[in-house]
Amino acid sequence: MKNLVLDVNVLLDLWLQRVPEKVLFFIAELIAKGENKNYWTWVSSSSLSTLEYIARRELKKGGMEGEQAKQATHALIADLLANVRLLTQFGFQQVMALQLSNDVEDAQIVMAASNLQGSTAIVTNEKRFQTGGEVAQLSLLEVNTWLRQDENRSVEFIDLKTQQDAIRPQLEHNIHRVLAHGQYIMGPEVQELEEVLAGYVGVKHCIAASSGTDTLLIALMALGIGSGDEVITTPFTFIATGEMIALAGAKPVFVDIDPLTYNIDPNLIEAAISSRTKAIMPVSLYGQCADFDAINLIAEKYNLPVIEDGAQSFGARYKGRRSCGLSTIGSTSFFPSKPLGCYGDGGALFTNDDALAKAMREIRVHGQDRRYHHPRIGINGRMDTIQAAVLLAKMKVFEEEVTARARIGARYSEFLRDVAVTPYIAPENRSVYAQYTVQVENRDEVQQRLKEFGVPTAAHYPVPLHLQLAFSCFGSSDGSCPVSEAASNKVMSLPMHPFLTEETMSTVVRSWREAII
């Protein structure tokens, strides 16, 4: 998405009808909120008082009575603010603004515009801004052409910048609210977030935590899993899944995956259950939920709790129900690149079980049930208030992003179906495509060629957990999980994020076609 920052004179032209009607409509079109726009419209907050002074003065000059001119100007500004986004003036940028230009007001607009991450242009009747080239300047006549030009940005594996522009006003508001109240640990935003997330997932309890790794440990501790116990899980996952089982003192028992979904194969679980098995921990890999009905059925039979490692699947649906609300405990990660990511580390736990929720809340804060009283052992697993504030801003647009992810994933598959092993999404699933992962035989070469074409890729994951040195003490050997082993040699993730344009996808696909030859 591109950004247009409207200069004072353009707004005055509209408010004071100083341009032909056709142009009035053109300016109104730039300001008015609308679907399917490929740009956001901003006004620098430093422009508001200038706008107020000039509009009022001009209306008075034209014969409007003083008080009426004041009210009319206020109404015009209010209407503007209801439609455009406001750019913040940061105190710490003012010295730089002063150095940038003799005209502080103009420099403030440039400074504020340069805080935006996407391509940005100031729309003005007079190109007087000293922008240093970072921000473009356009007359109204040039706007359409500029908006049509490609952004010429490099292909990014994950685009957090566009998202930041999208939520900037809410983000700044939320972060500054925390700076103001100062409750950096367990501030009110943490509880607010827990309520929002529990409502979103559709469960009774959400416990926000410090990461999607710590959440796994907290869940295992709450279930009383430790030394001598076994937990069944998948080897085709990020290290944290198996690592936390081991850290809790238990043994990860790796069960191979389904070759289509890459998730744990429910048909193989029962054979792995022993008298020491204390839980099943499936992972909803790449954003697609594991087959929870099948897994829960087995768990019920053996009276085992099920912990979903939904670090990659927050927002996904399985048979209409949301990931993290499909089993005894759901765990997710808000690592920045996850479908819902904060600006640091974060995670959350979900459950309908009151006793487990209480235990997990206590474990999150050193096992305490009230200040300095510790009925159990816990950890420091709290989420920072600032991260909760960031997530609250992101939750406002999350469902739109989930929809976009599903659309983009499906579109990628249309493009690639004849030239790659594209992801298989089971009919009962709606994936959030945390990764868009395909298979390729000569992965290293293809990755290298794509890199040369400017297309970043990643292998999730090149070594399955049962073959990691760290787990060698558990005695798993090569060949014990053949499907995972085969997949780990071939999987490759392509750039994926909710702002991926048709053009960028075409670039990726074109590069792919050339790279696999």
Contact residues for ligand PLP (CB under 6 A)?
A: 211-213, 237-238, 240-241, 283, 309, 311-312, 333, 335, 345, 347
Quick one: 287 or 409, whose CB is closer to ligand PLP?
287
Quick one: 138 or 402, whose CB is closer to other proteins?
138
In the complex, what is the shortest distance from the CB of residue 285 to ligand PLP, in angstroms, rounded to a whole number? 7
Q: Within 13 Å and on the Cβ side, how many CA atoms surround 382?
A: 17
> Any idea what DSSP says for residue 11?
H
In the complex, what is the shortest distance from the CB of residue 399 to other proteins, in angstroms, rounded to a whole number? 22
In the complex, what is the shortest distance from the CB of residue 379 to ligand PLP, in angstroms, rounded to a whole number? 13
3-state secondary structure of 45: helix
Q: Which of ligand PLP, other proteins, none sits in contact with 67, Cβ below 5 to 8 A by type?
A: none
> Can you point out the beta strands (E) in 213-324?
230-233, 251-254, 277-281, 307-309, 317-318, 321-322
In the complex, what is the shortest distance from the CB of residue 140 to other proteins, in angstroms, rounded to a whole number? 7
Q: Which of ligand PLP, other proteins, none sits in contact with 429, Cβ below 5 to 8 A by type?
A: none
Q: Which of other proteins, ligand PLP, none sits in contact with 418, Cβ below 5 to 8 A by type?
A: none
Strand 2-6: give its sheet, edge to edge: 85-87, 39-44, 2-6, 120-123, 136-138
- Binding-site ranges for other proteins (CB under 8 A): 8-9, 12-26, 28-29, 31-34, 50, 53-54, 56-59, 61-64, 72, 75-76, 79, 83, 125-128, 139-141, 144
In the complex, what is the shortest distance from the CB of residue 50 to other proteins, in angstroms, rounded to a whole number? 6
Residue 169, φ and ψ in degrees, nearest 5: -60, -45
Quick one: 23 or 410, whose CB is closer to other proteins?
23
Quick one: 35 or 418, whose CB is closer to other proteins?
35
Q: Which of ligand PLP, other proteins, none sits in contact with 238, Cβ below 5 to 8 A by type?
A: ligand PLP
- Nearest residue (beta carbon) to ligand PLP: 212
> Any idea what DSSP says for residue 471?
G
Q: Which of ligand PLP, other proteins, none sits in contact with 398, Cβ below 5 to 8 A by type?
A: none
Report how far residue 404's alpha carbon sits from residue 163's, in angstroms, rounded to the nearest whole number.
12
Q: Which of other proteins, ligand PLP, none sits in contact with 309, Cβ below 5 to 8 A by type?
A: ligand PLP
In sequence order, the 6+-apart residues with CB closer than 8 A to the CB of 451 are 457
Q: Which of other proteins, ligand PLP, none sits in contact with 76, Cβ below 5 to 8 A by type?
A: other proteins
In sequence order, the 6+-apart residues with CB closer than 8 A to the CB of 191 are none
| Closest listed residue to residue 248, CA positions, set 273, 228, 276, 269 | 228
Task: Kindly give the pairing relationship between strand 317-318 and strand 429-430.
Answer: antiparallel
Strand 329-333: give its sheet, edge to edge: 205-209, 347-351, 329-333, 307-309
Report how far residue 410's alpha carbon sits from residue 426's, in angstroms, rounded to the nearest whole number.
13
Quick one: 13 or 401, whose CB is closer to other proteins?
13
In the complex, what is the shortest distance from the CB of residue 112 to other proteins, in angstroms, rounded to a whole number? 19
